[in-house]
Amino acid sequence: MTAEVIRCCFCGAEQGDVVVDLGQQPSCELFPARTDPGPDPTFPVRLWLCQACGLAQLTDHDDVPEEVAGLEPEALRTQRRESAGWLAGPNLIPTGGIVAEYDSPHGGSWLPQLREAGLVGRIAGTGEAADLVVDGCFGMMHAADQQAALRARAARLRPGGRLVVQFHSLAAILRLRQWNAVRLGHLAYYSTPAMVEMLARVGLSAVAARDFSLYGGTVTLVASRAGADHHGSVEKLCRYERLIGVRDPARVHALQEDVHSGAEALVDTLRQARARGEIVLGYGAASRAVPLLVLAGIDADLLPVVADASPAKQNCRMPGTDIPVVTPEELTRRRPDTVLLFVPDLLDELRRVLPEIESCGGQWLPV
C-alpha cells in the first residue's frame, strides 16, 4: 500500500499533518427537498496543516454542490464598516484611488463601506491595476490553487498599492473550539502567521493587521510590495496566534476531541430526554448544524424536526439525515420541552420572537 501524498495547495510542500477528520459529509449548504429520499452525495472532509507555509487546508477539492449566495447577515456589514474605518486611518491606504474587488461566493461587497470611508476614487475596469485590491467577503478561501489566487491579487497592485484580505482566523477556531467552521467548499483556513508567510512568497509584506470580533476572531490585514509593519501590529498578532498554537499540528489536532465529544454528548442528551418521555426539537437549519447531526448519526427518530425562519429551507430536510425543516409556528405548536439551538447567537432574539416556548414550560438549549 502506498502512503497517500498530500500536497499544499499554496506552496506545494508534501510535509504536513492531517489534523482534523470529519469523515464523509454532505454539502452543508444544499438542503434537499423533503421528497428527495437521498442518500445525499458525500465528500471527505479532512483538514491538513502544511509544515512549510503553515496554511491549514482541506485535503480534497471535490466539486461540491455550490452554495447559493443568501442574505448576508448584518454582522458582516458591521464588521466591514469597522474595518473600513480602521483602513481609513493615517497612512494605511491611499485615499480616493482606483479600487478592485474580487467577488466571493458568499456575496457581499466592501465597496459601500469603503465609499463611506472615502477610500474609493473609482472602480477598476476588468483586469485593470488598482491602488486598493480587496478580496471580497471571504472569497479567497474558496480557491483550489491558493498560490494562483494570491498571485493574481498581488499582480493587480499599482506601484504603492495595497492589498486587503480578511479571514476568520484559525486562532479563533482553536481558541473557541469551532471545529464545525471546517466545511466543504472552504478550502483554506488562514492564520496570521501563515498569511504573512504566503504574502512574502508572492513578494508582498504585511504592513498592518487587526483582529475584529466577528466569529470570535476575524482578521483584516493590509499588505504592500514594500513597507514596514505599522506599530508592530502584524508581529503582535502573529505572536499571539502562535501562542494559541496555529502552527502546531498537535494543538490543532486537539479540535478532533471536540468533534467526538460534541457528537456523543448530543446523542446522550437526546436519548435521555426520550427515555423521560420529553419532546426535544431543534432550531436553526444552519450549515454548522449539518456536520454535528451527521457525525452523531441523529435522525428524525431522535430529533423529529428542526425549525428555521428562512422560507427557502422549509419543505426541505437537513442534509445527510431525514430530519425535516419546519416553520417556527410548527415548532411552537408541538410544545417542545427542549429546543436545541444550533445558532447560539440567536438566543436573545428567539426568546423575544417565540415566547411561547418558555411560557409553555419549554427551554432553549444552545449547542
Interacting residue ranges for Zn ion, rule: CB under 5 A: 8, 10-11, 13, 50, 52-53, 55
CB of 163 to Zn ion, least distance (A): 19
CB of 201 to Zn ion, least distance (A): 9
Query: What are the residues facing 171 on neighbouring strands?
Result: none
Nearer CB in complex with Zn ion: 10/342: 10
- CA angle, 221 then 223 then 229, to 5°: 85
Q: Is 243 exposed, middle or buried (0-12, 13-18, 19+ CB in 10 A)?
A: exposed
Strand 188-189 and strand 325-326: the pairing is unpaired
**Residue in 174, 221, 215 with CA at minimum distance from that of residue 193:** 221
Nearer CB in complex with Zn ion: 55/293: 55
Nearer CB in complex with Zn ion: 149/296: 149
Nearer CB in complex with Zn ion: 53/296: 53
Nearer CB in complex with Zn ion: 52/300: 52
CB of 47 to Zn ion, least distance (A): 13
Strand 218-224 and strand 205-212: the pairing is antiparallel
Q: In sequence order, what are the residues at sequence separation of 6 or more whose Cβ sits closer than 8 angstroms to the Cβ of residue 260?
A: 295
CB of 177 to Zn ion, least distance (A): 24
CB of 194 to Zn ion, least distance (A): 8
Amino acid at 274: R
CB of 197 to Zn ion, least distance (A): 8
Nearer CB in complex with Zn ion: 14/278: 14
CB of 55 to Zn ion, least distance (A): 5
Nearer CB in complex with Zn ion: 10/364: 10
Nearer CB in complex with Zn ion: 48/212: 48
CB of 52 to Zn ion, least distance (A): 5
Neighbours of 356 (CB within 10 A): 14
- Helix (H) / strand (E) containing 114: helix 111-116
The residue length of the chain stands at 367
Nearer CB in complex with Zn ion: 55/341: 55
Give 311-316's long-range contacts (Cβ < 8 A, gap of 24+): 312/31, 312/68, 312/70, 313/31, 313/285, 315/33, 315/34, 316/31, 316/32, 316/33, 316/34, 316/285
Task: Quote the cell numbers at residue 10.
Answer: 499554496
Pair 31, 286: CB distance under 8 Å: no
- Sign of the dihedral through C-alpha 231, 234, 237, 243: negative
**Cα 23 from chain centre:** 18
CB of 277 to Zn ion, least distance (A): 53
Strand 56-58 and strand 188-189: the pairing is antiparallel
